[in-house]
Each structure stands twice: as C-alpha cells, then as structure tokens.
Structure 1
Amino acid sequence: MSAMTSATTSGDYVVRAIRAEEWQAVKRLRLVALRDPVAGIAFLESYEDAEGRPDSFYQDRAARSAEEPSGARQFIAETPDGEWAGTLTVLLEEAGTTDWAGQPVERRQGHVVGVFVRPEHRGNGLIKALFDAGVAWAREQGAERVRLLVHEDNPRAQGAYRKVGFVPSGTLVPFVKDESQTELEFVLEWPS
C-alpha cells in the first residue's frame, strides 16, 4: 500500500500524506505551529524565519514529500471540513551516514520531526493516528526503528510520545539552539 494513495480514518479525521500542490496549507500550518507556547524548544526555526521564507521553499518541501521514492514524508490529519488539525514528518536516515547533529546512524531508521497538533484537537487520540501513519510509512521504507528528539523541558510532548509507544533510549543530544540544554532521544523499535 503506497503512502501517497492511502489514507486512514481516525474518528473524525483523515490522516494522509500531503500532496505537492498543498504547499500553501503546509506553510499555514507551520506558522500556526510556530506560535505554540513551546515552539521555542519544540522547533528549530522561529516564526519570523518561517514567515520570511519564499514560497519556493514550501513548494519544494511539499514536492519532495510527495515524491516516490522519497527520503521524507509529511502526514496531516484533516477534519471533515478540510482543516488541518495536526502534522508530523518522518525523515529516513541511512545506516553508515551521520545525522543532522553529526551523530553516526547505525541502521536505517525513521526520524520524526515537526510534530504539531492544534490545541483544540489535543487529547483525543489524534497524535496516535498521526504516529501510526508515520511509523507505517517508515516500516514500508525498510526502517528498523523510528526515533525522535524531545527537549528535556517539554513534558507535554514527552508524555504524548510515551502514550504512542516511544521510550527514552538513554541518548542525550545537546539542544542545537543552546548547548547548555539537552534533548532526549525517544525510540520505537520492533522485532527484526
């Protein structure tokens, strides 16, 4: 089943991969996410930086996510009236390479980034539906596990990730915006 053509329904939401022509909606949701009270520790860019990017940046991002095959896939949860209630992106990391932080990647894995659910849609299981779609896509791509990084001072996100099955790996990474702070690696692994 292709992640591009498949969609799952969770309650009142349809969870699916974005399409290239939806770049404007990708941009709008990113700007909403960057206004969240914890955006400073949850995302690596500021609202001002994201707002100042040219449209071509968002067009390219959406097009790359929609490509087959792709090294990244962005998923959204859509309400019946077309509102995008939440999103997450999975990046594929190849064994034998280094990740964005310069750490060695030991096996093919998915790396979840850009997780956001609008406040009015939180607490109803939507985050699990988004993660289910992202993890399923990573597995289809041959990933052996999925990981993410979460700031040490973001207990709301840590709790949400635990609820969907991720656990701390024990790996700590300096926070790219302030190396005196730490991010925790959470992982979801499955039997080989």
Structure 2
Amino acid sequence: MTEQDFSKASPEDASELAEMVRELAASEGKRNTGELSAEKVADWLCQDPPAFEALLAGPPRNRQGYIAFYRAFSLFRGGPVLLVENLYIRPSARGSGLGRQLLKQASAHAVAQGIDRVELNVRSNNPDTIAFYQRCGFHPPGEEVFRIEGAALRDFAGKDTDS
C-alpha cells in the first residue's frame, strides 16, 4: 500500500470502523463490545476534540485494517503520550506489512504533534503480537496493567471505606 491508501477516519467511516472493532473483539474472544454502534463511533469522531483518532488502510468499503489512538498525558514523562487503543489487520491482509505501516503512520502523527512516547497494551498470551511490537522497537516497561470495570467499578466507587 502507498501512503495514499491510508486515511484519517471521519464520521462517514464509522460503519466500517465499528465493523472492524467488532471483528477484533471477536478474534480476542470478547463477546461484549458494549453498545458499540456506527452512530456512537460517528459521534465520538465528531467531538471537539475527537474522543479518539483512527487511521484506516485501504479504500472505502474495502478497508484492510485500522489503528485507533488518543492523546493522554504523563506527569512522570512531563508531556503528552499517544496511546494506541487498537491495531487490527483483517486476516486476508496479515503478513503484508500493513500493521507496521499503520503503526509507523501513527508514530509519525505523534512526532508531528511533539509527542515523544507511544504506548500500547498487548495481551500476555499473544506471543506473535508481542514479537511484532518488539521488532518495531517497542519494549515492555516492566509494569503491569490493572483494570476495574462495569459492576465491579460501580460497586467499588460506592464503598465508604478503604478496605
């Protein structure tokens, strides 16, 4: 693919992007993608600033993958960080270098905005993806990710004591 085959996601791309997010979730064994709909994706892309940004690979109605990311801030780093939420390549395009190209495009976007760090999470039981990210120059920082969500979050938030 050439540079022209990549485009920034817009609300008009919401249906295709939502479809690929559902494909990624299914490939990871996740049954619940929340209430993900094309309408919600379009709304998120319309916010000012957008809730996230995404780069799409391939022509409209025939996308081969995407990378979604958003800007965060690190007090330790003393500046903004680009967090990659998802990188997904459809099975028919895997092994073509498309994932690397999308990751490079997002990294170039970060550098152009003065962002000096790109972060992402990867499942520990996904050695092929871990190896891919390491070949791209990413390294594990020696930290573990902890998460609370859904009912457990609501329950914890409502507790009066710290126990």
TM surpasses 0.5: yes
Paired position in structure 2 for 1:9: 2
Paired position in structure 2 for 1:31: 22
**What is the total number of aligned residue pairs between the two structures?**
149
Unaligned runs of at least 5 residues, structure 1: 1-7, 41-45, 97-103, 178-192
Select 1:107's aligned residue among 79, 99, 123: 79
Whose radius of gyration is greater, 1 or 2?
2
Paired position in structure 2 for 1:83: 62
Q: State the SS of the aligned residue for 1:84.
A: coil
C-alpha distance 123-55 of structure 1, shift in aligned 2 (>3 A): closer
Displacement of 1:105? 6.3
Select 1:72's aligned residue among 48, 52, 59: 52
Q: Which amino acid aligns with 2:33?
A: D
Asked whether the 8 Å contact 1:109–1:143 carries over to 2, the reply is yes
Unaligned runs of at least 5 residues, structure 2: 150-163
Displacement of 1:47? 3.8
The 5 Å alignment of 1:124-163 reads 124-163=96-135
Q: Which amino acid aligns with 1:77?
A: A
Asked whether the 8 Å contact 2:56–2:65 carries over to 1, the reply is yes
Asked whether the 8 Å contact 2:55–2:102 carries over to 1, the reply is yes
C-alpha distance 143-150 of structure 1, shift in aligned 2 (>3 A): same
Displacement of 1:54? 4.7
Q: State the SS of the aligned residue for 1:93.
A: strand
Displacement of 1:126? 0.6
Asked if 1:57 is matched to 2:67, the reply is: no
More helix by share: 2
Query: How high is the TM-score relative to the length of structure 1?
Result: 0.66
Deviations 1:54-78 (A, max 9, x none): 54312212324xx6x6563211111
Q: Which amino acid aligns with 1:56?
A: E
Select 1:117's aligned residue among 89, 109, 112: 89
State percent identity of aligned pairs.
21
Displacement of 1:128? 0.8
Runs of 4+ in 1 over 6 A off after TM superposition: none
Select 2:72's aligned residue among 76, 81, 93: 93
Q: State the SS of the aligned residue for 1:147.
A: strand
